[in-house]
Structure 1
Amino acid sequence: MLTIFTVPKPFIDEHIKIIQKNAISSWLRLEPRCEIILVGDEKGVAETALEFGIKHLAGIKKNEFGTPILSDIFNKAQQAASFDNIAYVNADIILLNDFVEAVKLVKENLFVIAGKRWNLDVKEPFLFSEKGWDLALRERILKEGTLFTFSAIDYFIFRRGFFKDIPDFALGRCAWDNWLLYEGRKLGAKLIDATAVITAIHQNHNYSHTPWAKKGWVGGPEAKKNLRLAE
Structure 2
Amino acid sequence: MLTIFTIPKPFKDHISVIQKNAIKSWTLLEPSCEIILFGDEEGVEEIAQELGVRHIQNIAKNEYGTPLLSDVFTKAHREARNGILCYVNADIILLQDFIGAIRTIQTLPEAYLMVGQRWDVDIDVPWDFSVDNWQKNMHDYLKVHAKIHPPAGSDYFVFPGDTFESIPPFAVGRAGWDNWMIYNARTNRIPVIDATAVTTVIHQNHDYSHVKHNLGDTYENPESARNREIIGDRKRTYTLKEANLLLTPEGLAKNVHSNEYNPVRRLQMFLKNIIVGRRGET
- TM-score tier by shorter-chain length is over 0.9
Runs of 4+ in 1 over 2 A off after TM superposition: 212-218
Worse-superposed segment, 82-91 or 156-165: 156-165
Report what 1:194 is aligned to: 195
What amino acid does structure 2 have at the position aligned with 1:5? F
Query: Which structure has the larger Rg?
Result: 2
Cα offsets for 1:104-144 (capped at 9, x unmatched): 00132300000000000000101101121101111111111
* Cα distance in 2 for residues equivalent to 1:214 and 1:135: 40
Displacement of 1:93 after TM fit? Answer: 0.3
How far apart in 2 are the matches of 1:91 and 1:165?
21
Q: Count residues with an aligned counterpart.
A: 230
- 1:75-224 equivalence runs, <5 A: 75-106=74-105, 107-108=107-108, 109-213=110-214, 218-224=219-225
Q: Is the 8 A contact 2:116 2:156 kept in 1?
A: yes
Offset of 1:212 from its aligned partner? 3.0
Contact 1:8/1:45, CA 8 A, preserved across alignment: yes
TM-score by length of 2: 0.79
Residues 133, 214 of structure 1: alpha-carbon distance in 2 compared, 3 angstrom cutoff: farther
User: How much identity, in percent, do the aligned residues show?
Assistant: 47
SS at match of 1:138: helix
Spell out, residue by residue over 1:69-120, the C-alpha distance to the aligned partner (whole angstroms, 9 max, x if none).
Answer: 0100111111111101110010000000011110000132300000000000
Number of the residue aligned with 2:9? 9
Letter in 2 for 1:74: F
Which of 1 and 2 has higher RCO (CA within 8 Å, sep 6+)?
1
Contact 1:3 / 1:37 at 8 angstroms: preserved in 2?
Answer: yes
Q: What are the ranges of 5 or more consecutive residues in structure 1 without an aligned counterpart?
A: none
In 2, Cα distance between the equivalents of 1:212 and 1:196? Answer: 36
Q: Shift in Å at residue 215 of structure 1?
A: 5.8
TM alignment of 1:27-38, pairs within 5 A: 27-38=26-37
Q: Give SS of 2:197's match.
A: coil
Displacement of 1:214 after TM fit? 8.1
The reply to whether residue 226 of structure 1 matches residue 227 of structure 2 is yes
Q: CA deviation at 1:165?
A: 3.1
Which segments of 5 or more consecutive residues in structure 2 lack a partner in the other structure? 233-282
Contact 1:6–1:38 (8 Å) recurs in 2: yes
Structure 1 residue matching 2:159: 3-state secondary structure: strand
Instruction: Name the Cα RMSD after superposition.
Output: 1.4
